Chains A and B, each alone.
Chain A
Amino acid sequence: MNTLHPTGEADTDSLEQMLSMLLDGAVESLDISPDLYDTAVRRYMDVGSWLGLHESPDYKIYSQGSFLLGTVVRPQTPTGEYDIDLVCRIPLHKTSTTQDDLKQRVGDQLIAYRSWKQQQGHSDGPSSLESRRRCWTLGYTGFHLDVLPAIPDDEHQPHGILLTDKNLYKWQHGNPIGYADWFSARSELSHALLEKRASIADVPVWHIRSTLQRLVQVLKWHCMTYFADDTDNRPPSILLTTLAGRAYRGEDDLFTALRNVLAAIPGFIERRNGQWWVANPAHKEENFTDKWNEYPQRRQAFNTWFGELTETMDNLSLMHSEGLDTVYSHLTKSFDPGPLQHSFTRYANRMKNTATQQRMSTTGLLSTTTAGPRRRPQTFHGQHTDARD
């Protein structure tokens, strides 16, 4: 698990801090582990060097989307495999190729790569290779790599790309690197995290999640649970990420940041000439809500989901002295219980193991920051049963 996120040992002396810690622990369990992350990077670097070796060194393979942004959430599918998007950028001009040619060209190289891995008896090759609408999908244990064939977009230098799509006549514009730069700059607004980073210099930066990254993970997780049986109407992750990035104002505390972001989001959904509009920060011509104009029920679905999440968070903010179990029941009405169980259990274990560092305030609050008598270690005695025995 990604135990290195700063809120792992956060203060829990206020309701907001407690809720932040519990939500953080829940999405942490859906995040990709540092080990699997490293494996995924090694696998696609290997694919990238094959493509470079066998074509020209101008071939580039790099990650895009939630893997690059650090906002991955494990899908609630039976396999629960992470979906990692890669761009395979080939230095061709759009007048010298077609979408079909480009797709096939990348596909041929990937087929050759897989065969070569098998012939060599290497165990690090992909276990499957499939052609999809916009990409080639390489299967590995625990994740799959979606390879999107792309060429440079001469009109949007240096990072703009044009992507293939079997169902669309026109090339699709994209700028995943530009988008990641924007998102990363928004993430850096939280100062507590920057200080924490400075104090743990030997930890790779990408293993520490910023408040904004965690916030996006909470939104995606809630959305995934809410739209589990209605995936057609599920708002795309890029829309949630963009709205969150726009609305975020650098709050360190996850729960406070979430409530403020939810309050501000409606102000970032624009009307332009009668059209709903949320622009891609890295490609102003792209509208992430263009589907709302075509299918009004999608905007309705977004609003209903957004209303429910806001209400859940509003109610949580009133739950002083209601009981941890009441907070848990409230959360499980709207979030998937598995990650919540994980988070509450992890908190419970931490409260057991850190007993010697805890002090008790005049209200009985047990924490590591409060002043008061130190709690000596103890062993609970008496009739001890597990409710599940």
Chain B
Amino acid sequence: MAAVKAAVPTAETTLRGGELVCNLTLQPTPVSRRYTVRIAYRHRGNPRVSITDPPLALHPDATHLPHVYASGDLCLYLPGEWNDHMFLSQTIVPWASAWLLHYELWLITGRWTGSGEEHALPTAWPPTAYP
């Protein structure tokens, strides 16, 4: 988490019951909104990322957000792309920023232009509850 602080000094981190929760503001381009992002992480678990402000919108033709789990958490990577040896600051945080960029572009074009169009959703993914 120190690395997240170093990457985004305004990040606020709390540790409660073995879960690290980090709130930070991200703005992927100078034109983009400033989003409040919440990252929750337990050791050996998968980081869960959600946008707490502003509320996310839908493209007029869409019924739900792309690349978001049913829980509302952002889906940022494929199984195996992230592991707990990686720094959140170098993976999850810039990935969340990229997600937000492609989200704003999706609101315009109706097409997801980030990578990841072609893969199927494995049934066991993601873990919705932590042990």
A residues near B, CB below 8 A? Answer: 12-15, 17-19, 319-325, 327-328, 341, 344-345, 347-349, 351-352, 355, 358-360, 362-366, 372-388
Contacts and interface: CB of A to CB of B under 8 A. Distances in A.
Contacts of B109: 341, 344-345, 348
Given A382-B75, A384-B116, A323 B32 contact: yes
B31 A18 contact: yes
Contacts of A362: 7-10
A328 B97 CA distance: 20
B34 A358 contact: no
Given A364-B27, A374-B90, 7 more contacts: A351-B101, A363-B27, A364-B8, A373-B89, A376-B95, A380-B75, A386-B111
Contact of A320 (B31, B58, B70): B31
A376 B94 contact: yes
Contacts of B119: 379, 381, 384
* B interface, over-half SS: loop
A364 B33 contact: no
B86 to A, nearest CB: 8
Contacts of A344: 105, 108-109
A364 B26 contact: yes
A386 B112 contact: yes
Interface in B50-85: 58-70, 74-79, 81
Interface in B3-41: 7-10, 24-35
A376 B32 CA distance: 21
B101 A15 contact: no
B25 A325 contact: no
B115 interface: yes
B54 to A, nearest CB: 9
B30 A378 contact: no
A15 B94 contact: no
Ranked nearest first, the 9 interchain pairs of A and B with the lowest CB-CB distance are A382-B75, A364-B26, A348-B113, A380-B116, A387-B62, A387-B110, A325-B107, A375-B94, A387-B59
B102 interface: yes
B41 to A, nearest CB: 17
A323 B111 CA distance: 17
A351 B103 CA distance: 12
Contact of A366 (B24, B29, B121): B29
Contacts of A388: 61, 110-111
21 contacts: A319-B31, A320-B31, A321-B33, A325-B104, A325-B108, A351-B105, A362-B7, A362-B9, A362-B10, A364-B35, A364-B97, A365-B97, A372-B7, A376-B94, A378-B95, A379-B119, A380-B75, A381-B119, A384-B119, A385-B112, A386-B66
* A interface, over-half SS: loop
Interface residues of B, number: 67
Interface in B87-130: 87, 89-91, 93-95, 97-102, 104-117, 119, 121, 125-126
Nearest to B92: A378
Contacts of B107: 323-325
A375 B66 contact: no
Contact of A328 (B25, B64, B108): B108
Contact of B29 (A324, A352, A373): A324
B114 A380 contact: yes
Nearest to A316: B31
B119 to A, nearest CB: 7
Contact of A355 (B61, B98, B108): B98
A366 B34 contact: no
Contact of B69 (A14, A319, A328, A382): A382
Nearest to B61: A387
Given A365-B29, A387-B111, A381 B94 contact: no
Given A351-B102, A383-B70, A383-B75, A365 B110 contact: no
A14 B27 CA distance: 12
B113 A345 contact: yes
B64 A380 contact: no
Nearest to B99: A380
A363 B102 CA distance: 17
Contacts of A364: 8, 24-28, 35, 93, 97, 100
Contact of A324 (B32, B114, B116): B32
